Amino acid sequence: MSFNESQSQDIEGATTAIQSQPDSKTRRYDRQLRLWAATGQSALESARVLVIGASATATSILKNLVLPGIGHFTLLDHATVSPADAGNNFFLQGTTSIGRNRAEEAVRLLSELNDNVDACADTRNIADVLASDPSYFLGFSLIITHNLSPVLLTRLADLLWENPSSTPLIPVRSAGFLADFFVQFHTHEIIESHSETSPSLRIDKPFPALLQAARALDFDTMDSTDHGHIPYVYLLVRTLDDWKATHNGLPPQTHADKQNFKSILAAQKRTPDQENFEEAIAQAYRAWTPTVVRPHLVELFNDVTLPSTPFGHLLAALRSFSERPPHVLPLSATLPDMKSDTESYVRLQNLYRAQAAEEREQFRALLPVPLENELVELFVKNAHGVQLLRGARYGALDTAPAKLIMYLDNLTRETATHLALSALDAWRSSPSRQNGGPTDSELREHVLTLIPGTELGKKEFSDAFGEIVRAPAADLPNVAAFLGGMVAQESIKMITKQYIPINGYCVVDLVDTWTGVLES
């Protein structure tokens, strides 16, 4: 039988859990709470989001923020609904909305999706707000724009970039079936990265209580039932301890050593179908894989510019903890599922919990300033996956021709599509542009100002230019729906500070159905 952490609760706790009914919020948001838990939901409900422009794409993004319960959103747009808007935007009421303000109409219908969300329509012109009230933009948790005028977008991006702790910005650009979006931020602290790599069980560096418990097991006097329920952690620690005693204190080194180690585990089976020993053999790599501080954390520890924030203080304490023998991170109390009986699993779990609690207090003593217990516990629990991302200013990539050329060699289609969209922005900003849309030659001319002397004969450029010439201003409903999901997903990552957001440009081509990333 297989047992995990949730199955080790006592009978009283289990009965209480069954009898207590979830509240209405838990029932409503059940699926997303499984993704980002109560901490993420609280952050979402405390967030204030500004979306500039009530286009089909912008309202699709908002739909995917309103449904999970964003705290507040403001939709800023001075324009009135046109027939084209009414034809492609699901959050306008068809011809009834024509002639009315776009923001007011969209807010009215978006608000019907979730009555717990506070919503506001701002009918001012963004140009006027930037000129007369720039501090207005600093009162939001996140700002999203769609196809904003390049001149106004640059002013907004520069305004937000001036302050290192200012509001993150996600500019979205689309034309026909092509699009890209960027996440602008200075630094982004992540405690709950939901790393796919689990924390170390320290098989190779067992803490004293674990080593003692493994050594105390008397395999010879055990009955077959108990022998078949020994958790694989004990089996690996015990076998590795015996191995080191005859190999100068070293774990298996060569391929032959590793195969021999597995053979020793297999020889301890009493019957061919003992699943716990099969599991130990499958997990044997843990015995010779050294428990070390992960490279991304070492890089953070070597950063002399750690922020003077609670996260920075936690990182400093983590660095101090890892510098002490045995040079590991604080132990996680969470055990993976494994073949065992309840009694043996709970006993092992209690060993890890006791050691984790002891190390958490050691970690707390290393903090340069006192911090809330909940924050410390959350950080220690997720220490193996914490991240500190450093972002870039919007538009910085287009002023780095060497980097663009490197990307063009390695990520040709992503770079060509991004450059084509940047060329469309440049054309829109050009005082000498003609009525109608850009021509292929005009787009090529603008790209060559970003990467002078580059050959633009590649098919990827021709495809991107062709789609933009065909539909330079089209905000297609299916593209809007796709971008609505993607941008909302990255927005939630930024707001909740969970999972790892895109750090750069996400490029989308729904002609050939692919996405790619150009990192900052």
What tens digit of pLDDT does each residue of 61-113 get? 999 999 999 999 999 999 999 999 999 999 999 999 999 999 999 999 999 99
pLDDT surpassing 70 at residue 199: yes
pLDDT surpassing 70 at residue 18: no
Q: What pLDDT was estimated at residue 5? A: 41
What tens digit of pLDDT does each residue of 133-144 get? 999 999 999 999
- Would you kindly state where each structural domain of the chain is located, as residue ranges? 23-192+476-500, 208-288, 295-390, 397-470
What tens digit of pLDDT does each residue of 453-465 get? 999 999 999 999 9
Average pLDDT, the chain: 93
What pTM, to 2 d.p., does this model score? Answer: 0.90
What tens digit of pLDDT does each residue of 371-394 get? 999 999 999 999 999 999 999 999
pLDDT surpassing 90 at residue 117: yes
- In one-letter notation, the amino acid at residue 363 is F
pLDDT surpassing 60 at residue 22: yes
pLDDT surpassing 50 at residue 285: yes
The total of other beta-carbon atoms located within 10 Å of residue 48's CB is 18
Model confidence at 469, pLDDT cuts 50, 70, 90, reads very high
pLDDT surpassing 70 at residue 181: yes
Task: Give CA angle at 484 (478, 490), nearest 5°.
Answer: 145
Range from 20-34, 149-163, 404-418 carrying the lowest mean pLDDT = 20-34
Nearest C-alpha neighbor of 238 from the set 271, 291, 276, 200? 276
pLDDT surpassing 60 at residue 13: no
- What ranges make up the beta strands (E) of 58-176? 72-76, 118-122, 142-146, 169-175
Q: What pLDDT was estimated at residue 17? A: 47
pLDDT surpassing 70 at residue 3: no
If you average pLDDT over residues 436-449, what whole number do you get?
Answer: 94
- In one-letter notation, the amino acid at residue 141 is S
> Would you state the structure tokens that stand for residue 394, as one six-digit string?
């919007």
Q: What pLDDT was estimated at residue 20? A: 60
What tens digit of pLDDT does each residue of 36-54 get? 999 999 999 999 999 999 9
If you average pLDDT over residues 428-436, what whole number do you get?
Answer: 81
If you average pLDDT over residues 1-9, what whole number do you get?
Answer: 44
One-character DSSP codes across 28-48: HTHHHHHHHHHHHHHHHHH-E
Q: What pLDDT was estimated at residue 36? A: 93
CATH number of 23-192+476-500: 3.40.50.720
pLDDT surpassing 50 at residue 10: no
Backbone angles phi, psi at 350, to 5 degrees: -65, -35
Q: What pLDDT was estimated at residue 433? A: 77
pLDDT surpassing 70 at residue 489: yes
- What DSSP state is assigned to residue 498? B
If you average pLDDT over residues 192-210, what whole number do you get?
Answer: 95
Q: Are 207 and 355 in contact (CB under 8 A)?
A: yes
CA separation for the pair 517, 443 (Å, rounded): 22
pLDDT surpassing 90 at residue 305: no
> Would you state the structure tokens that stand for residue 137, as one six-digit string?
């933009």
> Quick one: CA dihedral 374, 377, 380, 385, positive or negative?
negative
> How large a percentage of the chain has pLDDT more than 70?
96
